[in-house]
Structure 1
Amino acid sequence: MWQYAFHRLWQSAVTLVLVSMIVFAGVRALPGDPATTMAGPGADQAAVDAVRADLGLDRSVPVQYLEFAEHAVTGDFGRSIRTGTPVRHMIATTLPVTVQLAVYAMLIAVLVGVIGGVLAAVYRGRWPEWVVNGFSLVGLSVPTFWLGILGVLYLSVGMGLFPASGYVSLVENPVRGLWYLTLPALVLGVTHAAVVQRQTRSSMVETLSADFVRTARAKGLGPRAVIIRYALRNSLIVVTTVIGLQLGLLIAGAVVTERVFGLPGMGKLTVDSVFTRDYPVIQAVVLVVSASYIVINLLVDVLYTLIDPRVRVSGRAQ
């Protein structure tokens, strides 16, 4: 298992290096010149050239990348072109907000999706399956921004159940922090709950028709034991893969939800940086998100051996 983990680690490292190259080149392909923006609309060419030299943008792209990679290894992503603040401080401030929102939304998605998928599979062809499938269809069809606006109008402004915007750190005040994050997490978790539900149902339907499940029933085991101990446990390989991918998407795709609810997370930081051509911030944000994807996928691969003892890894996946 440790050999397999090491094998996956070096693969992940190579992937991260390739991602950093693509991001570095892609950011510099964006239209617009940050040096011109920083120098101001009335600046002459000499002032623009001076700003470009100060930012290191007058050097060749390979030299710029090597300098960026050398500093990024130590966690130094430079300073924001827009504010002059160290980028790692900006990420350290905004990343916890996005992670808290993503984890909370994923917990809601897993709870609702797994329970709904099990019900749809067990009561196949009956009204519980129709209700659950209707929920998943709505969750996949409704845009997140529209659902967020409805939540603000009815649950916040109309009923006063949740705050319409704002953020309180869970570290400072867990109860109040959860209250502020609940509505954004519900909005963000609905779509992902629908995905988890559909995958859980599909995997459970296939497992419930397997020979070992029929054998368990023939031995006289109750429905609850058959469903939970046999069918659900053997369906978790597919479900775990989907949950890992969805968690990565949550971290990367919380931009719209954070904008709707005014959360000071990575989404707001990303949008502001793209509009101002803030190269260091854009590069750092994309690298952090890419690294989170890689770590999540690595954890999912390791979890396979814990969920299903039949899965064995030695050196590489089998």
Structure 2
Amino acid sequence: MPMLWYVFHRLWQSALTLVLVSMVVFAGVRALPGDPATALAGEQADPAATAAVRADLGLDRSLPVQYFEFAKHAVVGDFGRSIRTGTPVRHMIGTTLPVTLQLALYAMFIAVLAGVAGGVIAAVYRGRWPEWVVNGVSLVGLSVPTFWLGILAVLYLSVKLSLFPASGYVSPFENPLRGVYFLTLPALILGVTHSAVVQRQTRSSMVETLTTDYVRTARAKGLGPGAVIVRYALRNSLIVVTTVIGLQLGLLIAGAVVTERIFSLPGIGKLTLDSVFTRDYPVIQAVVLVISASYILINLLVDVLYTVIDPRVRVPGRAQ
């Protein structure tokens, strides 16, 4: 029962956060320079035609009324139609969001695999050459801009060596092997950057955990190094790592714009850029709101996972 109450408490907090985010998104989009009615009607259109377009888009009404209409329809998943193409925004997001999610999850898998392994190595071999190598690689991953790394990968791994395709997308649901093949290079580029963050947090948490009394006791009982590291040190370090992974996954979903552009992936990042350039209000609002909702949902799941991963974390009302 306390656990259910904790989840309910976090749910209404997340809902309130989402409402506040929707207000900020709505106000921010309206603050963008330019008039979508003028862009749609044409610069040379007479004022009457521009006013008719503005009225058709609902831009002639007051901001509170516009926000209420936007929120009322957004609750049921209706984000209107694109000003640029006339396509329902819900359909556009439904087509592009899965591509970004596939890329983000694949990149996160690479980041967790490399980051946790590197963090464990750096903590176990602290002060020796394996730690220096791992820390050096992570420093490079943090320092090199993603767009530059992506361009180099396309030039050398795609164009010169022909190991991966330079652009394009195949759905893994239609052709799993070919779909993974097309996503591997962009996921690797994103994963390298985010694995550095995971590695540093894993190392920091592991170094602290390896000096605790229960780890020394486990060693004194005669447990092997592998069992001590995996069953005691790593397991008790996962709560910090889980937090970082949750935050990094949210950043991956929101920040895949550049990578999708480099590799011509039809994801939500490309949709966002196209919408910003054309002042497509409904699409911009919907995209930012969906990304924000994904970020909030990920943080909610991470909070709930705390009590599963680490029994020492207590929810309000649970017996101590």
Pick closer, same or farther for the CA change 1:170–1:315 going to 2, 3 Å. farther
- Counting aligned pairs with the same residue, the percent is 85
Q: TM-score, normalised by structure 2?
A: 0.98
Alpha-carbon distance in structure 2 between the residues aligned to 1:74 and 1:25:
21
1:121 aligns with 123
1:245 aligns with 247
Alpha-carbon distance in structure 2 between the residues aligned to 1:67 and 1:108:
42
Alpha-carbon distance in structure 2 between the residues aligned to 1:25 and 1:152:
38
Which of 28, 33, 41 in structure 1 is aligned with 2:30? 28
Amino acid at match of 1:189: G
- 1:2, CA displacement in angstroms? 1.1
Amino acid at match of 2:27: A
1:255 aligns with 257
Alpha-carbon distance in structure 2 between the residues aligned to 1:257 and 1:238:
27
Q: TM-score, normalised by structure 1?
A: 0.98
Amino acid at match of 2:157: L
Alpha-carbon distance in structure 1 between the residues aligned to 2:26 and 2:95:
23
Maintained 8 Å contact 1:204/1:231 = yes
For structure 1, the residue ranges without an aligned partner over 5 or more in a row are none
Which of 202, 205, 213 in structure 2 is aligned with 1:203? 205
The answer to whether structure 1 residue 51 and structure 2 residue 53 are counterparts is: yes
1:305 aligns with 307
- 1:315, CA displacement in angstroms? 5.4
Query: How many residues are treated as equivalent by the alignment?
Result: 317
Maintained 8 Å contact 1:7/1:315 = no
Alpha-carbon distance in structure 2 between the residues aligned to 1:24 and 1:149:
34
Alpha-carbon distance in structure 2 between the residues aligned to 1:266 and 1:73:
20
Let me know the Cα RMSD of the aligned residues. Answer: 1.0
Alpha-carbon distance in structure 2 between the residues aligned to 1:217 and 1:17:
51
Alpha-carbon distance in structure 1 between the residues aligned to 2:18 and 2:308:
26
Alpha-carbon distance in structure 2 between the residues aligned to 1:106 and 1:199:
15
2:192 aligns with 190
Maintained 8 Å contact 1:34/1:277 = yes
Which of 286, 289, 303 in structure 1 is aligned with 2:288? 286
Amino acid at match of 1:45: P
Which of 229, 232, 238 in structure 2 is aligned with 1:230? 232
Alpha-carbon distance in structure 2 between the residues aligned to 1:68 and 1:311:
39
Alpha-carbon distance in structure 1 between the residues aligned to 2:114 and 2:27:
41
Pick closer, same or farther for the CA change 1:261–1:315 going to 2, 3 Å. farther
Question: Tell me, what secondary structure is at the counterpart of 1:193?
Answer: helix
- 1:312, CA displacement in angstroms? 2.0
Question: Tell me, what secondary structure is at the counterpart of 2:80?
Answer: coil
- 1:40, CA displacement in angstroms? 1.0
Which contiguous aligned blocks of 4+ residues in structure 1 show a shift greater than 2 angstroms? none
- 1:294, CA displacement in angstroms? 0.9
Amino acid at match of 2:8: F
Deviation per residue, 1:63-105 (Å, 9 max, x gap):
0000011111110000000110000000000000000000000
